Structure 1
Amino acid sequence: MRLKPSQITSKTSFNHMNIMKNNNENSKGTLKGSCLCQAVVYELTQLDMPIWICHCQTCRKANAASEVATAGVQRSHFRLLCGEEKLTAFESSPGKLRYFCSVCGSHLFSARDGQTHVILRVATLDTDPGLRPLGHIWTSQDQPWLDGSTQPCFAERSS
């Protein structure tokens, strides 16, 4: 489902007046993030909910990953700096839209109508939020063949 920028910034979107005020009052605490190609860039003043590592099937498939770090951010603390026209949304379950960059495919956040927050994909942050995950959720949907806890770890891949 492709949304126009006016649909993203309508009743389900971010309160730009409050965001500007909040950012001016606390510019030192601003966190920035982006998609892989940098076409979409955002900032937020804080994470409003704990970071959780989600293992649900929908997150795994939407992000092509075995697990995904997520955290809630109040819409009034979040704003897009550029690339709003590059955002595309997919309704992964009734009422839940997952927003991703139409250029590189990075999944950035999800949102539901009527909620005052978005669910940020924490790995898209370019700055350290200063918080660590509280734990793992939806582990009942884990795939045993994706468990890497018993595998050797390497700081980088050698050729």
Structure 2
Amino acid sequence: MPIVHCHYKTCRKAHAAPFASTAGVRRENFRWLSGINSISRFESSPGKLRHFYKRCGSHLVAERPAQPHVIVRVATLDDDPGLKPEAHIWVSHDVPWLEYDRVCQHSEWRDDI
């Protein structure tokens, strides 16, 4: 499924960011490769489970068990998924301070910012 940037209020808060980059993966194509004992889960809203890494709290995957896919948090992947984002969704939930194209961009941190 495509990568999208989700601006929904609970996604923003779960990631402490203005949006969360996600991609759906069909259940038959998803599996944990290792570390399953280091994963914890939390039901953030009725029927929605969020899976976290116990040691650092990184939000890895979300799911609604009745759906045919899981929602992978793309920023947690080690390798390039080979896809580019296709859309921003739930932009009606944007925070008022979010600016897309009107701010300077720097390739690295600068002390003079």
Normalising by structure 2, what TM-score?
0.92
Q: Aligned residue for 1:117? A: 69
SS of residue matched to 1:145: coil
2:37 equivalent to 1:85: yes
Residue ranges of structure 2 left out of the alignment (5+ in a row): none
Identical amino acids, percent of aligned pairs:
55
AA aligned to 1:79 is R
Q: Following the alignment from structure 1 to structure 2, what is the Cα–Cα distance between the partners of residues 72 and 140?
A: 21
Q: Aligned residue for 2:20? A: 68
Structure 1 residue 146 displacement after superposition: 2.8
Q: Which of 74, 78, 95 is the aligned partner of 1:126?
A: 78
Between 146-155 and 91-100, report the one with greater CA deviation.
Answer: 146-155
CA displacement, residues 66-111 of structure 1 (integer Å, 9 cap, x when unaligned): 1111111011111111111111111111100010111011100101
SS of residue matched to 1:80: coil
Q: Which of 3, 6, 10 is the aligned partner of 1:58?
A: 10
AA aligned to 1:95 is G
Q: Which of 91, 98, 109 is the aligned partner of 1:157?
A: 109
Residue ranges of structure 1 left out of the alignment (5+ in a row): 1-48
Between 66-75 and 144-153, report the one with greater CA deviation.
Answer: 144-153
Instruction: Indicate the RMSD between aligned Cα atoms, in angstroms.
Output: 1.1
Normalising by structure 1, what TM-score?
0.66
2:41 equivalent to 1:94: no
Q: Following the alignment from structure 2 to structure 1, what is the Cα–Cα distance between the partners of residues 100 and 23?
A: 23
Structure 1 residue 148 displacement after superposition: 4.6
Q: Following the alignment from structure 1 to structure 2, what is the Cα–Cα distance between the partners of residues 53 and 94?
A: 22
- Whichever structure has more helix as a proportion of its residues is 1
Q: Aligned residue for 1:143? A: 95
CA displacement, residues 9-35 of structure 1 (integer Å, 9 cap, x when unaligned): xxxxxxxxxxxxxxxxxxxxxxxxxxx
Which runs of 4 or more aligned residues in structure 1 lie more than 3 Å from their structure 2 counterparts after TM superposition?
A: none
Q: Following the alignment from structure 2 to structure 1, what is the Cα–Cα distance between the partners of residues 108 and 86?
A: 26
AA aligned to 1:139 is V
